[in-house]
Chain A
Amino acid sequence: MTDTVAPADTAALEVDDLHLSYVVRGIPRAVLRGVSFSIAPGEAYGLVGESGCGKSTTAYAAVRYLPGNASIDGGRILVDGEDVIEMPYRRLQEIRSSHASMVYQDPVQAMNPALKIGRQIAECYRILGHAKAEAGDLALESLRRVHIADASSVMDRYPHQLSGGMLQRVVIAMALVGDPRLLILDEPTTGLDATVEAEVLDLVRELRTTTNAAILLIAHNLGVIRTMCDRVGVMYAGKVVEEGDAQRVFDSPEHPYTVGLLNAIPRQGLRKTDRPLFTIPGTLPQIGAELPTCVYVDRCPIADDLCRTEVPPVVSLGEQQWARCHHVEQTEQIDVPTSGIDARELDDEPVVELTGLSKTFRQRGTDIPALVGVDLGIAEGETVGLVGESGSGKSTLAKTLLGIHEPDEGGEITLDGREVRANATDRVTDSIRAMQMVFQNPDSALNRMWSVRRILRRSVTKLTDLRGEAADRRVEEIAVAMRLSPRHLDMRPRQLSGGLKQRVAIARAFAGDPRLVVCDEPTSALDVSVQAAILNLLANLQAEDRTSYLFISHDIGVVRYLADRIAVMYVGRLVELAPTDELFSGPVHPYTEALMSAVPSVDGSVRDRIPLTGEIPSPADPPPGCVFHTRCHRFIPGTCDVIEPPTIQITPRHSMACHLPVEELGRAPS
C-alpha cells in the first residue's frame, strides 16, 4: 500500500467552498452552496442543522460516497491534504480503508445480516493486507478495545443477535481498524436510548484520547454536539452560517439562525409556565431554491434591505467564532417571548384513573408481561409525562389505556369515576369521545388517500353530535385553532410538511372535546423549530380546554417543559411518579437518577454520569425482587434481589418503588 505521510499540521479534513447539487428530472438542485470548514488533526468538529441543511451530504461527500444524481459543481475536499474528488478510485479505496472511516446512524442496518460479526470486522483487516488468522485475532482485539463484554462469543454471533448499542460499538470498532486520521460520525446515537447514547458517546470520547483521530460529528441533537465537540459549524440551507468554539457558539450565539435554534429547545429547566418556546417563522427553503444573498433572509427577524441585496460578509467575533451576517450586533435584540401559560392548581380528583393495570402478551407460547400493575391517575388539565427506555412499556400503557390492547383481568380503568370497558370497540360513545391520541409518525397516522377536510370531518361527526353545516363549521374552526389555513383542508397529507401533518393529527384528536389526549412521542420525528411550534400549540390547547395529557417522550427536556408530573417506567413497571419540580429537586429513584444523568446537556453543565451497566432485562424473564437491581448502582444485596420493593411516599404526590431509605437516595442533575 502506497502511503504518503502528510505533514503533522495538515488538516485531517478540509472542505473548501464546496458546491453540490442533485439532478432531479434533469434540473440540478443546489444542496451545498459553498461549504467551507476544516478540522485539525485530533480535533472534534460538529455540524448541526435541521433536516435538509446538507450536513449529511457534506459528510458523505468527504468520502465521495454520493448517489448517482449528485454532481459536485465546485470546491475541494481534502482528506489529509489529498483531494478526494480528483483522486483515482483505487486511492479513494485506500483512503476509505485507512484514512477516513465512518459510523452510521442505524447500526442495525449498517451490518450485513448474513455474516458473523467476527468476519465483518476481520474483513477490514484483510483489506489492509493481514493474513486470515491474524485478521481474526485483530478483530477480537478490536472488539475488546470498544469494551464489548464477552468479545469472543460476539465474534461468532450475527447482527440480529445483538442490541443496537452493542452493534454501534461493533461499527465503531470497524471504523477504527485502519487507524484513521478522520472519523466521521453521522448521527451515531439517533434512535438509541439516552442511556445507550451516553455509553456510546463515552466510548467515542475515550477513543479520541487513545487514537488521536479527528472527528466530524453530524447530529441534530445540540446536546450531543456540545458535550463532544471542540468546534461547531451551524449549517442552514447548504451553507455554514456560524462557526466557532462549541461552548462559545452555544453560550453566546451570534447568527440569528443559531439564536433561533437554541431558543427553540426546551432547556435550562424551562417550563411551559415560564415562556413559550421560540419558533422560527417561515419554512425551510426547498432544495434548489434561489438564495442569492443571505440564505436565512426570508425567516430572519432582523433582516432588512441590506440583507436582501448583498451577500453577508463573514464577521469575525474574536478568534474563536464567526458568523455570516450583516447584523451580528443586533442578534441580542431578537425578541424571545416572555409570558408562559398560567400555572393552575390541579384537582385531586383524577379524570382518568388506572388501577392495577397489567397487560401480558402471548408470543409463541411464552407470556410476556409488558405492563405490570400500573396505578396512575391523571387530573383535569394535567400533563403526565411518561419516560423510560425503549421497551419499558410506555406505548403499551398508552394503548392499553385507550383500549387498543385488552388489559389482563383485574385491572381497572375509570373515566370521571366510572369504569370503562377494556376494548375500544366495546366502549360507549362518551368514553370513546373522551380519550383520543396523537401519534409519533403523522405519515402513518393520517390516511393518505383522504383529504384533510375529510379526515377532520369524519372525526367531528364521530366525536361530536354536530352534523351537516354545523360539522363543516366545526372543521373550519378547529383548522383555524391549529393554525391550518382553509386551503390546507383540501390537500392530501403527502402535500403537507411534517409539522403541518402533525397539526392535522392534533386537530383530529381535538375534534370533539377530549378529556384526555395521549401524545406518543408527537415531536420526535420533527425538527427542533417545528417541535417548538407543536409544543406551544399543545400547551395552549390545554390551557384553553383543560384537557389532560399523557405525554410520552424520550426527550427529558421536552417532558420537563410540558409535564406537571413525570412517571418513570422500567420493564413494564411504574418505578417513580413525581411532580416535575420535585423530580428535579428532591430525592429520586436510582433508575431515574441514572436515566437523567445520561442526557447530554446543551447548557454545558458538567454532570457525573451514572452508568447503567448491562442490557435491559427481557420482560419475559424479569429479575426477581426489584426488576432494576441488576443494573442498580445502589443495589442492596440480599434485599433488592429477593423482595419486591414497596411503594414509598417521599411527599404526598411523589412516590416510588424502592427499598432504599429516603436519605440514601440520589438526586437528578438539574
Chain B
Amino acid sequence: MLRFIGRRAALSLVTLVILILVIFLLTRVFPSEPARQLAGPFAPQERVDELNETLGLNDPLPVQFGNLLADVLTLSFGESFSQPGVEVLDLVRPALWNSAKLVMFALVLTVPLSILGGVVAARRKDTLVDRAIVNFGLASASIPEFVSAVIFQYVIGVRLGWLPATTLIPDDASIFTELRYLLLPALSIVLVYFGYIARITRAGTITALESDYTRTAYMKGLNTSSVVRRHVLKNSLQPTVAVTGTQIGYLFGGLVGLELVFNYPGLGNLILRAATAPDFPLLQAAVITVAIIFMLSTLAADLLIAWMNPRARLNVGAG
C-alpha cells in the first residue's frame, strides 16, 4: 500500500509539473506583453523594459519556468498586477476558502443523493423508476450551471423569496445563515452533478449486480439487501469515488458562471477577474491552485479506491 501511495503521488507530481508548464506557456510565450499591460498603454518604453527586467521576463524561457516552479514550491507568487502592493497569495487564500465552503456543502448534498439515486435505478433496472432517475439526471446535467443559477435566482430567490438571491453574507452570520445563503448556488451544483454521479453509480452497480461474485453471494443464501450491502457496494462505488474525485477539482475552478451570477467571491470569480484585468501573477497562482486541488482530490479518490479494492493497487499509472 505504501508503495502504491508513493507511485501514485509521484504520478500526480509529474502531471502537475506538465500542467504548470502549460499554464506558463499560455501566459508567457503566446503573443501578449505582461509588462506593457502592467505599465499601461501610455507608459514610456523604458518603464516597460524595466518591468520586464524586474519580473524576470527577459530571462530564457527554461529559466523562467524554473523560477515559476520554485515560486510554486515556496508559495511566493509575488504581487498582483491589478492591485499593486497586494500579495497574490492574500487574494487567492480567501477565494480558495470560499470555494471550499461552497463545494463541500454542494458535495454533502449531491453525493449521498446521487448514490442513492444510482443504486435505486440499478436495482430497478428498466422500470419506470429507473427511467425517471436516468432521464432526470440526463436533463439536469445538460443544463449549464449558470443557466440553472439564473433561473433559481429568479424563481426561488426573487419571485418566491424563499432563499437569499445573492451570496452577500453578513459578516456576523451564523453557520446556519451562511448555509442558507449558499443553498441556492449549491442547488445549481446539485442539479448538474446529480445526473452525472447517479449515472456512474447506476452503471457500476449494474455491473456488480450481474457479476459472478454476486451470484456466489446469493448462493450462500443471502437476501438481496445483504448482498447489495456486503458485496455489491464496495465494488460498485469505485467508479463513483473516482468521478467524484475528478469533479471536486472542476468544482473549485469551473464554477465561474455560477459564481458570477451569485456574485460569489470564489476561485472562479477570481480567475475571471484576473484574466480580464489582466493580472498574470494572480491568474497563474489561481489556476495552479485549482490544479493542485485537482491533484489532491484525485489522489485521495485513488487511495480510497485502493483501500476499497486491493486489486486497484496493482495498476497504478495505467492511464
Contacts and interface: CB of A to CB of B under 8 A. Distances in A.
A160 B216 CA distance: 16
A290 B235 CA distance: 43
Contacts of A127: 220-222
Contacts of A114: 234-235, 308-311
A273 B187 CA distance: 78
B127 to A, nearest CB: 11
Interface stretch (A92-100, A134-142, A338-346, A433-441): A92-100
A310 B69 CA distance: 87
A528 B222 CA distance: 37
Contact of A93 (B222, B230, B235): B222
Contacts of B231: 112, 115
Given A93-B223, A94-B221, A110-B212, A160 B230 contact: no
Interface in A102-148: 102, 104, 106, 109-115, 123-124, 127
A96 B220 contact: yes
Given A104-B212, A114-B235, A65 B309 contact: no
Interface string B201-237: 0000000000111011111111100000011001100
Contacts of A174: 216, 220
Contacts of B314: 160
Nearest to A92: B221
A158 B213 CA distance: 13
A203 B311 CA distance: 28
Contacts of A553: none
Nearest to B222: A127
A395 interface: no
Interface string B235-262: 1000000000000000000000000000
A101 interface: yes
B128 to A, nearest CB: 16
Nearest to B309: A114
Contacts of A63: 219
Contacts of B222: 93, 123, 127
Nearest to B213: A112
Interface string B130-171: 000000000000000000000000000000000000000000
Central interface residue in A93, A124, A171, A174, by most chain B CB within 10 Å: A93
Contacts of A98: 221
Nearest to A175: B219
B216 A115 contact: no
A423 B230 CA distance: 50
Contact of A110 (B213, B223, B308): B213
Interface in B19-51: none
Given A114-B310, A160-B311, A109 B211 contact: yes
A101 B234 CA distance: 24
A397 B310 CA distance: 33
A178 B222 CA distance: 13
A112 B221 contact: no
A65 B219 CA distance: 8
Contact of B310 (A110, A124, A158): A158
B216 A112 contact: yes
A98 B219 CA distance: 10
A123 B212 CA distance: 17
Interface string A59-100: 000010100000000000000000000000100011111100
Contacts of A102: 219
A274 B296 CA distance: 69
Contacts of B311: 113-114, 158, 160
A176 to B, nearest CB: 12
Interface string B74-99: 00000000000000000000000000
Given A113-B235, A158-B310, A160-B311, A101 B216 contact: no
Given A113-B309, A113-B311, A160-B314, A101 B212 contact: no
Most chain B beta carbons < 10 A, residue from A63, A93, A114, A115: A114
B56 to A, nearest CB: 39
A177 to B, nearest CB: 8
A161 B314 CA distance: 11
A8 B274 CA distance: 85
A161 B212 CA distance: 18
Contact of A65 (B218, B230, B234): B218
A161 B313 CA distance: 12
B304 to A, nearest CB: 12
Contact of A104 (B215, B234, B310): B215
A115 B221 CA distance: 18
Given A94-B221, A124-B220, A65 B215 contact: yes
A110 B220 contact: no
B235 A109 contact: no
A640 B92 CA distance: 70
A239 B249 CA distance: 59
B215 A115 contact: no
B188 to A, nearest CB: 35
Contacts of A112: 213, 216-217, 231, 234-235
A161 B223 CA distance: 28
A174 B217 CA distance: 11
Nearest to B214: A112
A106 B216 CA distance: 11
B215 A106 contact: no
Contacts of A111: 213, 216
Nearest to A96: B221
Interface in A167-198: 171, 174, 178
A102 B215 CA distance: 10
Contacts of B220: 96-97, 123-124, 127, 174
Q: Which of B211, B212, B216, B222 has the most CB of A within 10 A?
A: B216
Contacts of B216: 104, 110-112, 171, 174
Contacts of A160: 310-311, 314
Contacts of B234: 112, 114-115
Contact of A101 (B213, B217, B219): B219
A63 B222 CA distance: 13
A124 B226 CA distance: 12
Contacts of A96: 218-221
Contacts of A94: 221
B310 A113 contact: yes
A93 to B, nearest CB: 4
Q: Which of B213, B221, B234, B310 has the most CB of A within 10 A?
A: B221
B212 A109 contact: yes
A111 B221 CA distance: 15
Nearest to A102: B219
Contacts of A158: 310-311
A109 B216 CA distance: 9
A89 B308 CA distance: 31
A520 to B, nearest CB: 26
A171 B219 CA distance: 11
Contacts of A109: 211-213
Nearest to A127: B221
Nearest to B218: A65
Best-surrounded residue of A97, A113, A124 (most CB of chain B within 10 A)? A113
Interface string B288-319: 00000000000000000000111100100000
A127 B230 CA distance: 13
Contacts of A113: 213, 235, 309-311
21 contacts: A65-B215, A65-B218, A93-B223, A97-B220, A101-B219, A102-B219, A104-B215, A111-B213, A111-B216, A112-B217, A113-B213, A113-B310, A114-B235, A114-B310, A115-B234, A123-B222, A123-B230, A160-B310, A160-B311, A161-B310, A171-B216
Given A104-B212, A127-B221, A160-B311, 7 more contacts: A93-B223, A94-B221, A101-B219, A113-B235, A158-B311, A171-B216, A178-B221
Interface of A: 63, 65, 89, 93-98, 101-102, 104, 106, 109-115, 123-124, 127, 158, 160-161, 171, 174, 178
Interface of B: 211-213, 215-223, 230-231, 234-235, 308-311, 314
5 shortest A-B CB distances, which residue pairs? A97-B221, A109-B212, A96-B221, A112-B213, A93-B221
